[in-house]
Amino acid sequence: MTLDNPLRRDTVTVIDRVLIGEDDRGQDLYEDQEREVDRCNVQPVSSVESTDDRVQVVSRWRLAGPPDMGLTNMSKVRFRGVLYEVDGEPGKHGSFAGLMDHTEALLKVVTG
């Protein structure tokens, strides 16, 4: 019996780049495929503002989701209308009895 984690109430859209073939010159062709993933938790981590030549803000968020969500470092995540890049390699974490098994990743969005 697996218990639901009450902290995982968010639903995100994962956007994967999928290889769909080659063009007539032998170059790989990719397509973005979207899928909804529920039982996630998205929390803010940090935000840094740079004002050298222009105002630029880099915000990082922490995503925890189901262990089988299939997130990769090439995936993008849309949450509450904002499109985030996966920052680094997502990790899969196990736990005793599976209650806290999850995928964890840092998300990043740059504005400005």
Q: Kindly report, residue by residue over 59-90, the tens digit of the pLDDT.
A: 999 999 999 999 999 999 999 999 999 999 99
| Helix/strand/coil (H/E/C) assignment for every residue in 60-72 | EEEEEECCCCCCC
CA 49 to chain CA centroid, nearest Å: 22
Q: What is the pTM of this model?
A: 0.82
CA distance 46 to 26: 42
- Tokens representing 105 are 């990743």
Indicate the Cα dihedral angle 73, 75, 79, 83, nearest 10°: 100
Residue 25 has pLDDT above 90, yes or no: yes
Q: What is the distance between the alpha carbons of residues 85 and 74, in angstroms, rounded to a whole number?
A: 8
Decide if 107 contacts 87 (C-beta within 8 A).
yes
